[in-house]
Amino acid sequence: MTDTHTTHDALEDARNNDIKIYVNGDIVHRDDAKVSVYDSGFMLGDGMWEGMRLYDGVWSFFDDHMDRFFDSCKAVSLDVGMDRAGIMEALTATARANDMHTDVHCRLMLTRGVKVKPFQHPSLSRSGPTLVIIMEHSKPADALQSKGIRLATVPQVRGLPMAQDAKYNSHSKLNCVIACLQAEQAGADEGLMLDPHGFVNTTNACNFFIVRKGAVWTSTGDYCMNGVTRQKVIDLCHANDIPVFEKNFSLYEAYGADEAFLTGTFGAQTPVAEIDGKPIGDGHRPVTARIRDLYKDLITQDIQAQSAAV
């Protein structure tokens, strides 16, 4: 066994062995949750997904996730077949069937559905989309907060938006999977990906930030996932007088950063311990800790606001 960590390391929870999964309106035991081998998602990675978290009965930042999801589906002419209230109903029914209330992670997946022939053309998907919702009891492993994650810069880059725009949270994540494999084979946990010009962009599964002299830097956003957590961190910095810059920077500045952290719905903010074997800072992470606290408060505010709205 290697000592690999991922930004999605969660505490073991035996209840997940018996979860129920939503498949096109049916909610069934995970062993019975199946999609066709003709499904566009299986065959081509032709689908979109969202990762969301449930805290105190509220899906955090639901509207932000739905904005991205519906924009992505529209951009690839994938008819969701319901509005965001319908998605919320499906989420609520799945959570209820599983008796889940808090510290839950969900992967909501929509594909172009079952094809009549095993070929690429979207018109071969004729029976409507496939919607699957997997919900698991999930608490990020604490060890990552103290230990931090190890990154390796990888040869696989983020492409230009006219190839496959990184803003699509598509089922096909091969670009990211290749980057992750390269990082693992270099002895790291996750891959740090550059943009086509060589500037530091993002990791294979999270957005990437550095802290230099009290200021927070992240990429321009041109080649990375438009992360909900990324935007929340940028907004929190603006609202709390923490200097924040969306700008091009190179590995030179990343290696010499005082702190670095990743953002994503699952782990919120995960500290980076090293990049390409070089330790980042001296292990003190006051800015990351402050942003983490602000983000926790923001989730609480969101729970209150969404609860008050129903």
Ligand X SMILES: Cc1ncc(COP(=O)(O)O)c(C=O)c1O
Which tokens in the block code for residue 150?
A: 């190890």
Residue 273: closest CA among 212, 215, 190: 190
Q: Do residues 210 and 259 touch, judged by C-beta distance below 8 A?
A: yes
Nearer to ligand X, 5 or 115 (CB): 5
Left (φ > 0), alpha (ψ -120 to 50) or beta: where does 128 sit? left
- Shortest separation between residue 115's beta carbon and ligand X, angstroms: 25
Q: If you ran DSSP here, which 8-state letter would residue 104 be given? A: E
Q: Smallest distance from the beta carbon of 202 to ligand X, in angstroms?
A: 6
Q: Least separation, in Å, of the C-beta of 64 and ligand X?
A: 8
Give CA–CA dist 307/310, Å, rounded: 6
Q: Which is nearer to ligand X, 28 or 239 (CB)?
A: 239
Distance separating the N- and C-terminal Cα atoms of the chain: 48
Residues that bind ligand X (CB under 6 A): 51, 169, 176, 202, 205-207, 225, 227-230, 263-265
Strands 244-246 and 215-218: parallel
Choose between 27 and 298: whose C-beta lies nearer to ligand X. Answer: 298
| Residue 214 dihedral angles phi and psi, to the nearest 5° | 80, -5
Closest approach of Cβ 31 to ligand X, in Å?
26
Of the pair 124, 178, the CB lying nearest ligand X is at 178
Residue whose CB is less far from ligand X, 115 or 199? 199
Structure tokens at 258: 């005082």
Rounded least distance, CB 84 to ligand X, Å: 16
